[in-house]
Chains A and B, each alone.
Chain A
Amino acid sequence: MKPLMDEKQLVIDLQAGHEKAFRDLVGKYQQQVFRTAMGFVHDGSEADDIAQEVFVEVFRSVHGFRGDASLSTWLYRMTVNRSLNRLRSRKRKGIFQRIEAFFQDDADWTGEPEADCSIHPETVIGNQETAEALQLALDNLPENQRTAFVLYHYDDLAYKEIAAVMKVSLASVESLIHRARKNMQKKLMNFYKK
């Protein structure tokens, strides 16, 4: 019961505008928020940016927090939404850049790494290409699959907790994670194919 009471008291103090409560909130949840954002954007400085935005939003909107979900679930939702918005914005920029590159006759730039058929998975431990391959595979997942995958593999959330964050059923979460893994494997196998 104590953790729940602590959380309730924290919310009360936040809504009363206590700075110490806000500092405690940031201290307690910053790693969680940062790690979740990393799962989406794969870049430390962007994840840091997202984390700042999330906590600023919490500061502004905590008065509207009714306690229907836990503080942690609320934070996860905000982080996921902010991260997905960031990715959509990045994608739009990418489209404009491609159009620009096209008109500048920059024909070599395709925006995607080419499959290196000479690489065998066993030889790329710690390789930059592995990281890029993972990012590309994740970025190509549909948003709901990506969200479920990140919340499971990056945040170690249980299926039930993921269902609460995403507001879907437990069965949906299982299906989303299963499909995300399958799709990831397919993309990564194509990338590593000889």
Chain B
Amino acid sequence: MMNEQHITEQLWEFHLGQLSEEENQKVQLHLEACDACLRESEVVKQTVQEIAAERSQEVPPFLYTRIQGRLESVRKPAPLWKRVLVTSLGTLLLLVGIWGGVKIGTMDNNQFSGTSVENPMGNLAINEMVNEPIEGYLFDFK
């Protein structure tokens, strides 16, 4: 009785046609006598046939054309109008940002210094440097 593990390994070579005549005959004889190995042999046979079917598939035609297409899409720069548009939008965004910042910075201070009953001093402390410039205060000898 042959070692089943050994037979398992030989099954692949057997179905790939890589065994010698003598080894082939030994395997054949064993398979006739051993149901378990026969079952395994069928599985290996199906697998070898399926692999043969897959590997026989031809590469789809015009592969070179498709490769060229991919290379072209990388080499070709974006059209001029697109580049101008992107640059213009970027510049516009920058200008809007600068304008917005300046606008916020030069907002009318009276909006924030409004007095009320609760706060008669208003925001005098914050704005005193604007309302009473230090130079005027220092040199006001009256």
Contact = CB atoms under 8 A, between A and B. Distances in A.
- By DSSP majority rule, is chain B's interface helix, strand, loop, or mixed? helix
Interface string B32-44: 0000000110111
Contacts, number: 85
What are the 5 closest A-B residue pairs judged by CB atoms, nearest first? A121-B42, A34-B59, A134-B50, A188-B43, A154-B55
A184 interface: yes
- By DSSP majority rule, is chain A's interface helix, strand, loop, or mixed? helix
Interface residues of A, number: 37
A39 B47 CA distance: 13
B64 to A, nearest CB: 5
Contact of A130 (B40, B44, B50, B63): B50
Interface of B: 8-9, 12, 39-40, 42-51, 53-55, 57-60, 63-64, 66-67, 70-71, 74
Interface in A7-62: 23, 26-27, 30-31, 33-35, 38-39, 42, 44-45, 48, 51-52, 55-56, 59
B51 to A, nearest CB: 5
A44 B43 contact: no
A153 B15 CA distance: 12
Nearest to A59: B71
Contacts of B39: 121, 189, 192
A44 B51 contact: no
A29 to B, nearest CB: 10
